[in-house]
Amino acid sequence: MNERQLIKLFITTTIFTIGTVTAFGQDCEKLTDGQYLFKHKTKGHKKADFILTISGDQFIIIKNGKEGLKGAIIWWPDNCMFKIYSDDKAPDNLDSLNSVQKTLIRTSMSYGGSCYELVGKRKFRLTYCGNVHITMSEGRVIKKGR
């Protein structure tokens, strides 16, 4: 490539990069410390509603009034997506699970587990971290308290 072609390539790449970053820069902010109700609207997930309590980089999930999962919450750099890492470990022996459960676990693991994407200010999308084109569920995020 000659110098002119390199300059043209650099300018084109810069324009596409700025356009891509701008297009993906959603109007969302990291959830601050507090409690949030995650209310699913997708059929099959409606009973999966839960309260997410965030304190720093830690979380607690409350479902049906009972404390459940605890662990760390990791945010993506643009703060629109996060993944929760439970302190509870998955069972080492998958032999006790039926074939459907094993398939679901293997599929989830191959796609990088599930992640929550904040869409706008009051909505979420549950997707796979490794394949964000697949939506498992959608719903609303409702801040509890102040």
Report the C-alpha gap between 11 and 17 in whole angstroms: 10
Containing structural domain, residue 90: 28-144
Give the count of alpha carbons within 13 A of 21, CB side only.
8
Question: What are the DSSP E strand ranges found in 6-122?
Answer: 34-40, 50-55, 58-63, 66-75, 81-86, 114-119
Is 20 within the bounds of a domain? Answer: no
CA 19 to chain centre: 23
Mean pLDDT of 99-113: 58
Is 74 a member of any domain? yes
The answer for residues whose C-beta is within 8 angstroms of residue 7's C-beta and 6 or more apart is: none
| HSE-up of residue 79 (Cα within 13 Å, Cβ side) | 9
Q: Tokens 């760390």 sit at which residue?
A: 72
Residue 65 sits in a domain whose CATH number is 2.40.128
Note whether residue 129 is domain-resident: yes
- With DSSP H G I counted as helix, E B as strand and the rest as coil, what are the percentages for the chain, rounded to 5? 25, 40, 30
Q: What was the pLDDT predicted at 86?
A: 84
Residue 133: closest CA among 104, 106, 112? 112
> What's the rounded Cα separation, in Å, for the pair 10 and 1?
12
- Per the structure, the count of domains in the chain is 1
In this prediction, residue 43 carries a pLDDT of 82
Which two structure tokens, joined as six digits, stand for 116? Answer: 């929550």
Domain presence at residue 86: yes
Confirm whether 94 is domain-assigned. yes
Query: For 35-82, how does the pLDDT look when each residue is reduced to its tens digit (9 = 90+)?
Result: 999 999 988 787 789 999 999 999 999 998 888 889 999 998 777 999
For the record, the structure tokens of 65 come out as 């009034």
Higher pLDDT, 100 or 139: 139
- The pLDDT value given to residue 77: 77
Q: Is residue 19 in a domain?
A: no
Is there a domain that residue 10 lies in? no
